[in-house]
Amino acid sequence: MNVTADEKGGANARTQPRLELYGITKAFPGVVANADVSLSVHPGEIHALLGENGAGKSTLMKMIYGLLAPDSGSLMWDGREIRIEGPMQARALGMGMVQQHFALLESLTVAENLALTLNRHGRWDPNRIAARIEDAEREYGLKVHARRPVHRLSVGERQRVEILRCLLQEEPLKLLILDEPTAVLTPQEIEGLFAILRRLAADGLSILFVSHKLEEVRGLCDRVTVLRSGRVVARRDTADVSVEDLAALMVGDAPPPLRERKPVALEARVRMAVSSLSQSTLDPHGTALQSVNFELRQGEILGLAGVSGNGQQELMAALVGERSSPPEAILIDGQAVGKLNVRARRKLGLRYVPEERLGKGAVPELSLIDNVLLTRWAKAMQWGLLRLGQARAAAQSLCDRHDVRHPGVASPAASLSGGNLQKFIMGRELDEAPEILIVAQPTWGVDVAAARRIQDGLLALRERGSALLVISDDLDELLLLSDRIAVMSGGRVSPVCPVASVDRAELGQWMGGNVSGWEAFGDAA
């Protein structure tokens, strides 16, 4: 196995740091992403990197892995100063990186995917890779199916494949960088991942863990470095700080509590009803919808839990009008809308935020001004002319209200960090105070303070009487926000139940595909 085990003893063994950064600075036009950043990671240590959106975490990770070059400062690797020219050199040194969005080919098997990147000299030998995968399974408990196509794997299994890719690289793995590794995992998959990471760290592997989930950071990591506005503002042993302490270090103050929730009236008006909705998928690796049924009421948040890839995108496409369906399968205020397009449903009060930020939520090449106009063009028109000054002011006001950090509203959407783009898209729809809002992954990739603002905005809409469907694989968030909850798995939706009566562990099992208990779940609709 390629993990070095020469420096065991875990995070408490304060030997020579494996990775040291000194005075790292990186600037882009109009913004300093990192300013005089210093950081060290020891053998056998799980080290967390925290910070708000736009704090400079992604830029720093890219410089460590050779995707960007620092303007100044130095990087030390095993006690010697080096300059990393690219990811290939980083891998040769013993670095591996698992990014939030996996890079796997759906139609190939696990072994074939790994063979593409692990056979440096072009020898296509999935059988040899499959044997190496089996060895890794036995040694580290990384259970994957080498012969199974990727499109048949759960998200947790895909993440294990990405970790295996790093473990099996030709050079011994010394540092593993994980970017938001639990964003799309069930509670059981998170527990399994953490067990694997602890075992790897015990064998001497250094792990750099980037996450916004403070409870996980405190429970898993040994030390934490906090960035704010591109600078290091704190270094702490996680045993010495609380979750509230970490939140305050990130944003300068503890986030405010969520507003008080009032119960939903049982006789509340049904704004959207879905009945016996079945539909094939246009994606060869997608998930067909199978007799989906639920009601969405005025003044409530209905949470739909599930691991991404279980039909959520297909369901949203049908609900918002991107795909037509049988007319009576979807009703808005009693009106059959299955054949109506997106614009027609918007006229009935429906708005939505898709999971895919760039490409569907925003057009990457267009400015923030133009991206605001995508949903508000009618308000900016007068006598057939576009009032650009008003559009610019609207974009600036939106960014100011929702703390979207940007180089300028005339800048393209692609220039924003993922978290800031999420704040922009969510703010654009929340500010419209829609009567019905369908949103997927509302706080995906945003920091704790921004997540709290978005959550409060959703609760404010609920308080106004809007009907909200929140689709997410973050079970903790759904349990915090929702009045009622259901689970989506394999294109099916479970019965709906009040949040107060559900068991978190059981929901996690259903998210993972064990749906045998659905019949006993009960439907309180």
Q: Which residues pair with 235 in a beta bridge?
A: 225
146-201 pLDDT, tens digit per residue, is 888 888 776 667 877 888 888 888 788 899 998 888 776 777 778 888 888 998 89
Q: Which residues pair with 21 in a beta bridge?
A: 39, 75
Task: Provide CB contacts within 8 A for 55, sequence distance 6+.
Answer: 227, 228, 229, 230, 250, 447
Give the containing element (helix H, strand E) for 206. Answer: strand 206-210
CATH class of 1-94+173-254: alpha beta
Q: What is the CATH number of domain 270-349+434-520?
A: 3.40.50.300
Interatomic CA distance for residues 157 and 153, integer angstroms? 6
Q: Is 254 helix (H, G, I), strand (E, B) or coil?
A: coil
Interatomic CA distance for residues 229 and 10, integer angstroms? 31
- Mean pLDDT for 207-216 is 88
Q: Which of the two residues, 379 and 521, has the higher pLDDT score? A: 379
28-43 pLDDT, tens digit per residue, is 877 788 999 999 999 9
Decide if pLDDT at 247 tops 80.
yes
Specify the pLDDT at position 6.
40
Most confident of 137-141, 301-305, 368-372: 301-305
For residue 456, which phi and psi values (nearest 5 degrees)?
-65, -35
Q: What's the distance, CA 456 to chain centroid?
A: 19
Specify the pLDDT at position 435.
95
Interatomic CA distance for residues 232 and 34, integer angstroms? 9
**Claim: this prediction has a pTM higher than 0.85:** no
Decide if pLDDT at 4 tops 50.
no
Lowest mean per-residue pLDDT among 91-95, 182-186, 362-366, 451-455: 182-186
252-295 pLDDT, tens digit per residue, is 766 667 777 777 666 789 999 999 999 998 877 778 999 999 99
Full DSSP string of 58-105: HHHHHHHTTSS--SEEEEEETTEEE---SHHHHHHHTEEEE-SS----
Q: Which of the two residues, 333 and 141, has the higher pLDDT score? A: 333
Lowest mean per-residue pLDDT among 84-98, 140-154, 327-341, 494-508: 140-154
- Map out the domains of the chain as residue ranges: 1-94+173-254, 101-170, 270-349+434-520
Contact between 413 and 364 (Cβ < 8 Å): yes
Return mean pLDDT, the chain: 85
Full DSSP string of 22-68: EEEEEEETTEEEEEEEEEEE-TT-EEEEEE-TTSSHHHHHHHHTTSS
Specify the pLDDT at position 451.
86
pLDDT band at residue 10 using 50, 70 and 90 as cut-offs: very low
Interatomic CA distance for residues 333 and 271, integer angstroms? 5
- Mean pLDDT for 454-473 is 93
Lowest mean per-residue pLDDT among 115-129, 205-219, 487-501: 115-129
Instruction: Give the whole-number percent of the chain exceeding pLDDT 90.
Output: 42
Q: Please name the residue that has the structure tokens 């939106």.
A: 398
Decide if pLDDT at 143 tops 50.
yes
Contact between 278 and 292 (Cβ < 8 Å): yes
Decide if pLDDT at 1 tops 50.
no
Decide if pLDDT at 122 tops 60.
no
43-84 pLDDT, tens digit per residue, is 999 999 998 777 888 889 999 999 999 999 999 999 999 999
Decide if pLDDT at 446 tops 90.
no
Question: In degrees to the nearest 10, what's the CA dihedral of 293, 524, 504, 281?
Answer: 0
- The reply to whether domains 1-94+173-254 and 270-349+434-520 share a CATH topology is yes
- Mean pLDDT for 334-345 is 94
Decide if pLDDT at 303 tops 80.
yes
Interatomic CA distance for residues 220 and 198, integer angstroms? 8
Interatomic CA distance for residues 49 and 58, integer angstroms? 10
Decide if pLDDT at 3 tops 50.
no
